[in-house]
């Protein structure tokens, strides 16, 4: 009984010992904060990755793709049974997108993904990242009138509202250009003096519209499809395609493709849009034929999506699968059979993805030029990197606590020296050596518990208010603590894992107890007479 009474009293009266567990406290708190934030990050990341990727992807490596996907689908359903929630087919191909902005051409390297609007939603949460509320319910590749960017103040006017205005301007410019050409031709005819500089200079410096019109003609050379650019030099071609009333095939762009994220003059983070729903984008891609040819076609942006995974947002563009199959020549002209590049499968929640993958792998061996992977396999390196970071941070921080253990060891030795006489008294009053040792072990236990407890509470509070703390730090230092441009999260995500907290606490307490073993042993071995004589 005296042991616990004394530990308790030592704990309450020796403040210096509490100072020695401050490092334990800090270590525990840091571990909890780091783990929570890392867990939050990786969970958020996984959620986002998974949001666009389906559970299992069967990818064909041949440029021509996987023929007869219906057979595969029935095989998949046979193999996996009730676990399958949805199956969809996808065509994807690397591509180059280019669009006009203020007379300049901007090109972006993108991944064109042809999706089946009816079934794609079964396998992916893709829709909820779209900016138009209607599209979030049911994706349509037809441009909508208005209402894009719901809930976003900085979203520019888009949709038909924008396209009509833009189309009218294009038409007017086109007309003016035609008038000028007519006039120039007349001039040439009349005085036959060559004036090469006039038209060129006009186009370069004074007439941005001419520039805007000139660039799309690159595309016009490569393709036969109707476009504004295609009308160059052909009088009255504007009537073929009326941008005010018509649209090309729809395309959904990642927000990173059509905008840049930056700090506005007032300091807030915002997107600056080069193009927006309603604008056109020129897409160049490879055909499925052999040898591959370069195809180029105009698409009308019908929506943008923001999954907040910068990798996806800056490369993925979605188009209707039929359009892509048709463009690339993936439809067998004789049979009408359509090929796809991959088949995506969604399984029911909690299904064992790895087991399903292994089953499918057995079903479709690699010599079919087919690869079966789970979404985690596809993002493996990134997930593994995050996991390794977490592990290494955990080890490092636990070393901090271990270092704190040596602090406790030193302090405890001091306390044992300071308490030598008391130990002598206890022994002379009949306390056994084991009892004396227990006092110091118990003291270490209590100190560890206090340190770990305070650290846990502090760490949890920090995690709970982490965004407020980040804001406060930003105000105090003026610097950016958490930059949403980098992470695509508005707030720092955190997940508190009770198991890891318990483990961290136990580890810290264990270290404190282990650090007190040596001093306790020394205290137990003190000779009572010498201890009493000690002054």
Partner 1 sequence: MSKTSPRVQPRRSDSIGTDFSKDASLFQPHANGEFSTMKMDSPSAVSISRTHGKTQGGISPDSVIMSAKNLTKTYRTGKVQVPVLKGVDFVAERNRLTAIIGQSGSGKSTLLHLLGTLDQPDGGEVYFDGRRIDNLPRRQRDQFRNQTLGMIFQFYHLLPELTTLENVMVPSLIGHGMFKYFSVRRKLRDRAAELLDWVGLGHRLKHRPNELSGGEMQRTAIARALMAEPRILLADEPTGNLDPETGHGILELLKKLNQQQQMTIIMVTHDEAIARSADCCIRLQSGKVQQVHQQAA
Residues 339 to 398 in contact with partner 1, rule: CB under 8 A = none
Provide, rounded to whole angstroms, the least separation between the CB of residue 422 and partner 1. Answer: 5
Return the SS3 of 321.
helix
Q: Which of 194, 236, 430, 479 binds partner 1 (CB under 8 A)?
A: 430
Question: Pick from 69, 70, 55, 73: which is nearest to 124 by CA?
Answer: 55
Name the one range near partner 1 by CB under 8 A: 6-14, 50-58, 235-243, 328-336.
Answer: 6-14
- Cα–Cα distance measured from residue 526 to residue 421, given in angstroms and rounded to the nearest whole number: 10
Smallest gap from Cβ 512 to partner 1, in A, equals: 20
Q: Does residue 5 bind partner 1 (CB under 8 A)?
A: yes
**CA-to-CA separations, 106 to 44, 214, 271, 288, 310, in angstroms, rounded:** 31, 14, 16, 26, 19
- Nearest-angstrom CA–CA distance, 348 and 77: 13
Applying CB under 8 A, the site for partner 1 has a residue count of: 26
- Contact pick of 2, 101, 183, 406 for partner 1 (by CB under 8 A): 2
CB nearer to partner 1: pick between 11 and 369: 11
Q: Which two tokens stand for residue 118?
A: 């009816």
Instruction: Considering the complex, state which of residue 175 and residue 434 has its C-beta at the smaller distance from partner 1.
Output: 434
Nearer to partner 1, 157 or 529 (CB): 529
524 binds partner 1 (CB under 8 A): no
Q: Is 10 in the site for partner 1 (CB under 8 A)?
A: yes
> In the structure encoding, which two tokens stand for residue 9, read together?
């009293």
Residue appearing with tokens 């095939």: 249
**DSSP reduced 3-state for 188:** helix
| From candidates 433, 481, 510, 521, binder to partner 1 by CB under 8 A | 433
Are the C-beta atoms of residues 343 and 350 closer than 8 Å to each other?
A: no
Closest C-alpha to 229, from 32, 221, 206: 221
Closest approach of Cβ 427 to partner 1, in Å? 8
Question: Candidates 9-17, 50-58, 491-499, 501-509 — which segment interacts with partner 1 by CB under 8 A?
Answer: 9-17
Q: Which of 6, 123, 255, 281 binds partner 1 (CB under 8 A)?
A: 6
Which residue's CB is nearer to partner 1, number 86 or number 435?
A: 435
H or E element in which residue 319 lies = strand 316-320
> Are 315 and 110 within 8 A, CB to CB?
yes
Minimum separation from the CB atom of position 438 to partner 1 (A): 11
Among 118, 348, 432, 485, binds partner 1 (CB under 8 A): 432
Min. distance of Cβ 13 from partner 1 in angstroms? 5
Q: Is the dihedral of CA 484, 486, 492, 495 positive or negative?
A: positive
Nearer to partner 1, 274 or 443 (CB): 443
User: From the CB of 5, what's the least distance to partner 1, in Å?
Assistant: 7
**486 binding partner 1? (CB under 8 A):** no
Are 400 and 393 contacting, i.e. CB atoms less than 8 angstroms apart?
Answer: no
Among residues 292, 435, 453, 484, which is the contact residue for partner 1, using CB under 8 A? Answer: 435
- Span 390-429, contacts to partner 1 by CB under 8 A: 421-422, 424-429
Among 13, 205, 268, 477, binds partner 1 (CB under 8 A): 13
Location of structure tokens 């980098």: 486
Shorter beta-carbon distance to partner 1: residue 84 or 426: 426
Mark 130-151 as b/e (b = at least 16 C-beta within 10 Å): bbbeebbeebebebbeeebbee
Report how far residue 244's alpha carbon sits from residue 224's, in angstroms, rounded to the nearest whole number. Answer: 21
In whole angstroms, the minimum distance from the beta carbon of 348 to partner 1 comes to: 55
- Rounded Cα distance between 63 and 290, Å, is 9
Quickly list DSSP for 382-448: HHHHHHHHHHHHHHHHHHHHHHHHHHHHHHHHHHHHHTHHHHHHHHHTT--HHHHHHHHHHHHHHHH
**Using rule CB under 8 A, residue 465 touches partner 1:** no
Positions in the binding site for partner 1 (CB under 8 A): 1-2, 4-6, 9-10, 12-13, 421-422, 424-433, 435, 527-529, 532
């Amino acid at each position: 009984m005296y042991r616990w009474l004394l530990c308790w009293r030592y704990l309450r009266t020796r403040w210096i010992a509490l100072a020695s567990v401050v490092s334990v406290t800090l270590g525990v708190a840091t571990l909890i904060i780091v783990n929570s934030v890392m867990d939050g990050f990786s969970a958020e990341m996984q959620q986002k990755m998974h949001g666009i990727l389906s559970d299992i992807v069967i990818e064909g490596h041949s440029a021509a793709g996987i023929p007869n996907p219906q057979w595969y689908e029935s095989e998949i359903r046979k193999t996996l049974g009730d676990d399958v929630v949805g199956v969809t087919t996808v065509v994807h191909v690397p591509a180059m997108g280019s669009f006009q902005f203020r007379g300049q051409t901007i090109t972006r390297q993108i991944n064109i993904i042809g999706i089946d609007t009816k079934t794609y939603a079964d396998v992916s949460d893709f829709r909820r990242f779209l900016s138009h509320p209607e599209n979030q319910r049911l994706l349509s590749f037809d441009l909508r009138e208005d209402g894009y960017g719901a809930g976003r103040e900085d979203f520019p006017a888009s949709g038909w509202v924008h396209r009509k205005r833009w189309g009218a301007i294009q038409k007017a410019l086109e007309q003016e250009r035609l008038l000028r050409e007519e006039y120039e031709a007349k001039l040439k005819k009349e005085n036959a003096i060559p004036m090469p500089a006039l038209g060129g200079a006009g186009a370069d410096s004074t007439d941005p519209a001419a520039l805007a019109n000139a660039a799309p003609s690159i595309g016009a050379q490569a393709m036969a499809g109707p476009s504004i650019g295609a009308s160059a030099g052909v009088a009255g071609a504007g009537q073929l395609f009326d941008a005010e009333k018509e649209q090309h095939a729809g395309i959904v762009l990642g927000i990173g493709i059509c905008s840049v994220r930056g700090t506005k003059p007032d300091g807030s983070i915002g997107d600056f849009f080069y193009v927006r729903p309603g604008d056109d984008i020129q897409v160049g891609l490879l055909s499925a034929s052999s040898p591959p040819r370069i195809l180029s076609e105009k698409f009308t942006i019908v929506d943008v999506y923001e999954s907040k995974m910068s990798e996806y947002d800056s490369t993925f563009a979605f188009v209707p699968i039929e359009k892509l199959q048709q463009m690339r020549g993936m439809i067998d002209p004789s049979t009408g059979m359509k090929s796809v590049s991959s088949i995506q499968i969604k399984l029911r929640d909690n299904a064992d993805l790895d087991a399903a993958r292994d089953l499918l792998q057995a079903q479709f061996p690699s010599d079919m030029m087919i690869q079966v992977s789970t979404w985690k396999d596809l993002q493996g390196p990134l997930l593994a990197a995050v996991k390794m970071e977490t592990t290494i941070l955990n080890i490092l921080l636990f070393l901090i606590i271990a270092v704190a253990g040596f602090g406790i060891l030193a302090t405890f030795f001091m306390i044992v020296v300071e308490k030598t006489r008391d130990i002598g008294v206890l022994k002379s009053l009949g306390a056994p050596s084991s009892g004396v040792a227990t006092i110091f072990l118990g003291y270490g236990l209590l100190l560890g518990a206090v340190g770990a407890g305070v650290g846990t509470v502090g760490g949890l509070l920090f995690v709970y208010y982490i965004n407020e703390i980040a804001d406060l730090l930003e105000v105090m230092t003026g610097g950016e603590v958490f930059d949403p441009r980098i992470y695509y999260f508005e707030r720092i995500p955190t997940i508190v894992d009770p198991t890891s907290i318990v483990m961290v606490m136990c580890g810290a307490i264990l270290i404190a107890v282990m650090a007190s073993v040596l001093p306790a042993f020394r205290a137990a071995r003190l000779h009572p007479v010498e201890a009493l004589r000690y002054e």
